[in-house]
């Protein structure tokens, strides 16, 4: 397993997706995850995401610096590299202007992250394209680190400490605008972390279904089904595990697109043979929103009313042992 510590970056989910596309299981955790949790999980690698903060900001997100002493390979991306540098005694400075967009990366060391790169015939030897999006930049790496790549505007675009297995890149290898980014991620996952490309979404589903079945036993489960991706996937996994021990409540508030509510009912009740309670509460929601024009007030009313309707339906079902939520 690889853990992505999320520092608020817009690409955190994409980083996790790219890792999974390499057939390596990955989880996203908050940057504040206790080091004890990391030790207990025994990940083969850790990735620090990017983020909008400066390491010098008053409330800049920080992780436990003890992570760097665990012996677990770490890859810092953008803010993640700056945080690694700052935490380990290097220097991060403010650029005169943001470096943004497609940039030519000059590779100074074709080892570790950059092993086997530079095959693009359209670019000169020892160069590749990358995607930059940053204001701060590293001017001096920490002691023990070498500069592995640079750009015309960033003298330190990638760093590495092979002995401690700590690496950082100022750019974003996870986006398509870094054409050889997947090679870099694979070098980190396979070459540095020694991960095996054995995980698939199918195996994850099988494992999850088995875990749910074991945990629930013969007890009753309730799910608030919205028809969206999160609750739909959660409901289907639980249904495959325990069948009709699961009851789904779909609250039809009247704000879906035309025909969508009927499709949700048809898909889950008829298609998957699930225990589905369809609550037509359109008039109730419309009455509560009568005369309300302020968007945030509308949102709060809809949320509160949804909870009240769901509670009322749940009470009709008697004792429930577990609640399924697609989004926590």
Helix axes 201-216, 229-242, angle to 10 degrees: 60
Picking from 93, 73, 96, 71, the residue whose alpha carbon sits closest to that of residue 82 is: 93
Active site residues: 78, 172, 174
Side-chain-side CA neighbours of 62 within 13 Å: the count stands at 13
CA 159 vs CA 139, 141, 209: distances in Å: 11, 7, 41
Whether the CA torsion 172, 174, 176, 178 is positive or negative: it is positive
Picking from 29, 20, 33, the residue whose alpha carbon sits closest to that of residue 174 is: 20
- For residues 108 and 80, the answer to whether their CB atoms sit within 8 Å is no
Give exposure, 257-293, as e/b (b: 16+ Cβ within 10 Å).
Answer: eeeebeebbeebbeeeebbbbbeebeebbeebbeeee
CA distance 93 to 82: 9
- For residues 253 and 282, the answer to whether their CB atoms sit within 8 Å is yes
């Amino acid at each position: 397993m690889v853990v992505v510590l999320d520092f608020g970056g817009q690409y955190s989910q994409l980083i996790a997706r790219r890792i999974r596309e390499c057939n390596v299981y990955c989880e996203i955790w908050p940057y504040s995850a206790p080091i004890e949790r990391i030790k207990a999980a025994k990940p083969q690698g850790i990735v620090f995401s990017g983020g909008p903060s400066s390491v010098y900001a008053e409330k800049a997100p920080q992780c436990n610096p003890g992570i760097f002493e665990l012996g677990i390979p770490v890859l810092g991306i953008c803010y993640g590299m700056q945080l690694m540098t700052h935490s380990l005694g290097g220097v991060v400075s403010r650029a005169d202007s943001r470096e943004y967009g497609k940039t030519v990366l000059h590779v100074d060391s074709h080892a570790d992250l950059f092993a086997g790169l530079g095959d693009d015939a359209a670019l000169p030897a020892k160069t590749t394209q990358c995607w930059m999006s940053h204001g701060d930049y590293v001017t001096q790496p920490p002691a023990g680190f070498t500069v592995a790549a640079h750009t015309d505007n960033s003298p330190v675009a990638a760093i590495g400490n092979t002995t401690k297995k700590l690496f950082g890149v100022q750019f974003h290898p996870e986006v398509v605008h870094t054409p050889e980014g997947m090679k870099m991620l694979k070098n980190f996952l396979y070459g540095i972390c020694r991960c095996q490309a054995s995980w698939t979404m199918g195996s994850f589903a099988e494992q999850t279904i088995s875990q749910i079945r074991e945990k629930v036993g013969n007890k009753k489960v309730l799910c608030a089904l919205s028809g969206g991706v999160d609750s739909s996937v959660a409901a289907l996994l639980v249904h495959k595990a325990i069948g009709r021990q699961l009851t789904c409540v779909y609250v039809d508030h009247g704000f879906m697109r035309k025909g969508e509510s009927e499709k949700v009912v048809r898909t889950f009740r008829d298609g998957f043979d699930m225990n589905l309670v369809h609550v037509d509460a359109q008039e109730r929601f419309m009455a509560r929103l009568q005369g309300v024009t302020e968007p945030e007030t509308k949102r709060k009313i809809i949320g509160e009313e949804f909870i009240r309707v769901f509670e009322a339906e749940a009470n009709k079902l008697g004792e429930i042992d577990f609640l399924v939520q697609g989004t926590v």
